[in-house]
Amino acid sequence: MINFIESWKKLKIIVRKRMIGTIPVFEVVEDTDQNNPLPIIVYYHGWQINKTLVITQGRKLAAKGFRVVLPDAENHGERIQTVSTIPSLTFFNSIHTNLFEFGYIIDYFKKRHLTTNFIGVGGLSMGGMTTCALMTHNPEINAAACIMGTPALTDYRNMIHRHATSRNIYLPQDYFYLTSWIPKYDLSRQPELLGDRPFFIWHGDEDEKVPFSQTKAFVEENPELNMEVIFEHTGHLVQTQTMDRIADFFERSHNDHLEELHK
């Protein structure tokens, strides 16, 4: 079902609602290319928002010639559930489900011959954490963008544990076992898994929700990586200019990918 068509930089960009299994997504693509194989980007929203709030980013990417998929994470948007009072339970379940579903989403479009051999992934906040985690186990991803997320998922988990413990908030005694998957998907603990893949990072140094210090440490400790890094003096908020930079980054990454293929 096509929800609406809008003019976007003199292009007609379609935002189409799809159900991929049980996953509600928006597919954002230029009208004339909707049935053609295109480079694909899966872009994830943040905590307690939904796919609708990243449509602008989706349009900007689609205007660069990408097929953009915006999923609702588990417990969000059309999949909304009550947030557990146990700290981080719903949050980490949402990220974990994103990891389970990523390959399923890509496979859906591959089977319909709607993709090329370029796969991008990105996201903001919780979606940025999802992006970093995906880069540890999905070598088929060609380029990625982490926007105000943390690559240090284990440190973030431990921070939540300290916070809850200091305030006498209930956590199960086997909390670290229950979340034992997290270190295995922690990019900061295995940065070599990025290889030479282009990786865009944006973070504000006054971020009140996701620690800027964790992202800054990752960048400083891994100068050999192929990273494009922008730190700004701002909080947990993405401006239009940042969205343009993200779109430009993926366009450059795709062009470099095509050049490598034709060498």
Query: Is residue 205 predicted with pLDDT exceeding 60?
Result: yes
Digit-coded pLDDT (tens) for 26-44: 999 999 999 999 999 999 9
**pTM, full prediction:** 0.94
CB 215 within 8 A of CB 201: yes
| Residue of 128, 92, 97 lying closest to 21 (CA atoms) | 97
| Residue 90 falls in which region: left (phi positive, over 0), alpha (psi -120 to 50) or beta | alpha
The amino acid at residue 124 is L
User: Mean pLDDT throughout 214-228?
Assistant: 98
222-235 burial, b at 16+ Cβ within 10 Å, e below that, comes to beebebbeeeeebe
Predicted local distance difference test score (pLDDT) of residue 231: 98
Q: What are the DSSP E strand ranges found in 104-209?
A: 115-124, 143-147, 199-204
**φ and ψ of 21, to 5 deg:** 65, -120
Tokens of 137: 């186990």
Q: How many alpha carbons fall within 13 Å on the CB side of residue 61?
A: 33
Secondary structure letter of residue 83 according to DSSP: P
| CA 224 – CA 202 distance, rounded (Å) | 18
Predicted local distance difference test score (pLDDT) of residue 11: 74
Q: Using 50, 70 and 90 to split pLDDT, how confident is the model at 118?
A: very high
Digit-coded pLDDT (tens) for 158-175: 999 999 999 999 999 999
